[in-house]
């Protein structure tokens, strides 16, 4: 019986390089599905088709033959017999591949090819939906990730070595846009399969990440029937830390001077915002009058922390990506004054959890955006487990928030409606510890509540 390894993750996480390394270590066949989608995007563009028009892309598939082969030991992608391996690795083709991958006709075109290869060989296949759609019964599933900045840095170095003129800023923008496209597309969006093991490669070498996956495969090989035992496939503690519950006391009060300053500034800022935007609030009765609560919201704009805070009587703190603290000093001082503290995205560092608990214990409220990035179309994404983890560890209530406005950008006189939902108490859901099962239940409740408030 062949062993299939499904390797999913965002663009630039190192999937292809690590998958090739794993394949070499295990003697498996490596299947680069990203290259297959890139080849379709390349072919559509060369034929003059608009990659943002599904009908035009589908129309060119009849004349397309895509094949993976090996030339001098290296995998090559052939489009109608032409080796396009280098031509499909540009930022333009990356964006186009993300666009064409959302079309059902394209996915159906490649699905049978991918499954046929997997049925006949021991393979490792990387992509965006391998474990969730293409090979849902794969014996080993891995979700490989890394911070957006680290992924951009890797891709920038790779392109520079090939003489590509793209700047780091352009590559980072491409990475962020690709992440958004991949996680928000209607057909097979990028997400971690429930039975997949998370491997964060931000601070890992290629060899370390590859060895972790090899370990997972060997655990399967040791089973007589090739089945997987979840206890043996769990990643080590450095990847999925288990945190002890540390309920906050809610006895600490904000420094009277800071609280007094907040009481003066908040009405003033609210007055400005209500005149700059058509701002209204719903469900204000659900806002707690004390501190030590979490406000979990969808993310539409940089003004979201202010929108949320304007109806809270206690100062807030909120996580902000580390890059924002490297802007001009005035901006840095401003966001710090408004309660921001830095977080390095994608590292899995538990220090941010400790900082969050400290903020809650000090009597502040904490604002968290579970999606991790802003939504341009207003749709609520899947959300990450961090908010559930902090709520479970602190054993504190979560107030869901929905920020609503039409269009992609927030501008003057825009109608903005902020809705507060009923607080979610982890204890009432039976979430008395931070076990994966309880976190999943709590996160689902939080994200469902946010979604209901966004309409």
DSSP 319-386: EEEGGGGGS-HHHHHHHHHTTEEEE-TTS--THHHHHHHHHHHTT-EEEE-TTSS--SS-------SH
The reported pLDDT for the residue numbered 194 is 87
| pLDDT score, position 243 | 60
Question: Do residues 292 and 236 make contact, with C-beta atoms less than 8 angstroms apart?
Answer: no
Residue bearing the bigger pLDDT, 111 or 349: 111
Please check the confidence at residue 436 and state whether its pLDDT lies above 80.
Answer: no
Burial of 376 (0-12, 13-18, 19+ CB in 10 A): middle
Q: Residues 157-210: pLDDT tens digits?
A: 988 988 888 899 999 998 988 888 888 877 778 889 889 999 998 888 889 999
Could you tell me the sign of the dihedral formed by the alpha carbons of 332, 379, 376, 193, in that order? positive
Distance CA 92, CA 174 (A): 9
φ and ψ at residue 216, rounded to 5 degrees: -65, -40
Range name among 117-121, 126-130, 145-149, 324-328 with the lowest pLDDT average: 324-328
> Any idea which of 30-39, 209-218, 343-352 has the lowest mean pLDDT?
343-352
Burial 320-352 (b: 16+ CB within 10 A, else e): bbeeeeeeeeeeeeebeebbbbbbbbbbbbeeb
Q: Which of 60-74, 154-168, 245-259, 410-424 has the highest mean pLDDT?
A: 410-424
The secondary structure of residue 80, as a DSSP letter, is T
pTM above 0.95, yes or no: no
**pLDDT at 225 (0 to 100):** 53
Q: Residue 238 pLDDT more than 90?
A: no
What single DSSP character describes residue 299? -
Angle at the Cα of 112 (from 106 to 116), degrees rounded to 5? 145
With contact defined as beta carbons under 8 Å apart, do 276 and 412 qualify?
A: yes
Average pLDDT over residues 16-23: 91
| Strands across the sheet containing 294-297 | 278-282, 415-420, 398-404, 294-297, 365-368, 316-321, 340-343
Strands 415-420 and 398-404: antiparallel
81-129 tens-digit pLDDT? 899 999 998 889 988 998 998 888 898 888 877 887 788 778 999 988 8
Is residue 347 pLDDT above 50, yes or no? no
Give the DSSP H or E segment for 406.
none
DSSP state of 127: E
Do the Cβ atoms of 376 and 409 come closer than 8 Å? no
Which of 402, 262, 401 minimizes the C-alpha distance to 339? 262
Give the pLDDT confidence score for residue 77 in this predicted structure.
Answer: 86
Query: How many helices and strands (H and E) does the chain possess?
Result: 15, 15
Q: Sorting pLDDT into bands at 50, 70 and 90, what band is 295?
A: very high
CA distance 124 to 23: 7
In the predicted structure, residue 8 carries a pLDDT above the cut 90: yes
User: pLDDT-derived band of residue 299, with 50, 70 and 90 as boundaries?
Assistant: very high
> Where does residue 313 rank: exposed (0-12), middle (13-18), buried (19+ CB within 10 A)?
middle
Top-confidence residue, 334 or 411: 411
**Across all residues in the chain, what is the average pLDDT?**
86
Are 110 and 33 spatial neighbours (Cβ–Cβ below 8 Å)?
yes
- Name beta bridge partners: 68: 77
* pLDDT in the model for residue 241: 40
Cβ neighbors of 118 (< 8 A, separation 6 or more) are 2, 4, 31, 125, 134, 135, 138
Strand, helix or coil at 166?
A: coil
pLDDT for the residue 233: 42
CA–CA distances in Å: residue 437 to residues 94, 194, 441:
36, 11, 6
The whole-number pLDDT of residue 232 equals 43
């Amino acid at each position: 019986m062949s062993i299939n390894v499904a390797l999913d993750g965002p663009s630039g996480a190192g999937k292809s390089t690590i998958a090739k390394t794993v394949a070499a270590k295990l003697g498996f066949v490596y299947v680069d599905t990203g290259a297959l989608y890139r080849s379709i995007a390349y072919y559509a563009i060369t034929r003059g088709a608009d990659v943002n028009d599904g009908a035009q892309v589908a129309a060119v598939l009849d004349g397309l033959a895509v094949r993976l082969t090996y030339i001098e030991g290296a995998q090559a992608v052939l489009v109608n017999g032409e080796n396009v391996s280098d031509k499909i690795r540009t930022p333009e083709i990356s964006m186009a591949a993300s666009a064409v991958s959302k079309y059902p006709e394209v996915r159906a075109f490649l699905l049978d090819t991918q499954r046929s290869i997997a049925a006949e060989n021991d393979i490792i296949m990387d992509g965006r939906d391998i474990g969730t759609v293409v090979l849902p019964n794969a014996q080993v599933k891995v979700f490989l990730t890394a911070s957006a900045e680290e992924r951009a840095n890797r891709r920038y170095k790779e392109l520079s070595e090939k003489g590509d003129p793209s700047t780091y800023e352009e590559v980072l923008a491409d990475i962020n846009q690709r992440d958004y496209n991949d996680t928000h597309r209607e057909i097979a969006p990028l997400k971690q399969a429930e039975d997949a093991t998370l491997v964060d490669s931000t601070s890992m070498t290629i060899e370390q990440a590859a060895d972790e996956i090899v370990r997972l495969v060997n655990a399967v090989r040791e089973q007589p029937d090739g089945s997987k035992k979840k206890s043996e496939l769990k990643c080590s503690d450095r990847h999925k830390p288990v945190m002890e519950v540390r309920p906050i006391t809610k006895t600490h009060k904000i420094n009277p001077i800071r609280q007094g300053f907040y009481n003066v500034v908040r009405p003033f800022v609210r007055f400005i915002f209500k005149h700059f935007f058509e701002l209204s609030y719903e469900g204000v009765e659900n806002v707690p009058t004390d501190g030590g609560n979490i406000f979990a919201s969808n993310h539409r704009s940089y003004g979201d922390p202010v929108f949320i805070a304007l109806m809270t009587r206690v100062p807030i703190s909120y996580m902000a990506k580390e890059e924002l603290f490297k802007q001009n000093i005035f901006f840095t001082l401003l966001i710090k004054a408004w309660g921001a503290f830095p977080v390095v995205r994608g590292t899995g560092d538990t220090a941010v959890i400790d900082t969050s608990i400290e903020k809650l214990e000090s009597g502040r409220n904490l604002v968290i955006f579970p999606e991790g990035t802003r939504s341009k179309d207003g749709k609520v994404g899947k959300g990450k487990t961090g908010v559930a983890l902090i709520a479970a560890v602190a054993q504190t209530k979560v107030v869901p928030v929905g920020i609503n406005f039409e269009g992609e950008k927030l501008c003057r006189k825009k109608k903005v409606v902020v809705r507060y939902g009923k607080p979610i108490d982890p204890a009432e859901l039976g979430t008395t510890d931070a076990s994966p099962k309880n976190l999943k239940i709590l996160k689902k409740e939080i994200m469902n509540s946010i979604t209901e408030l966004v309409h």
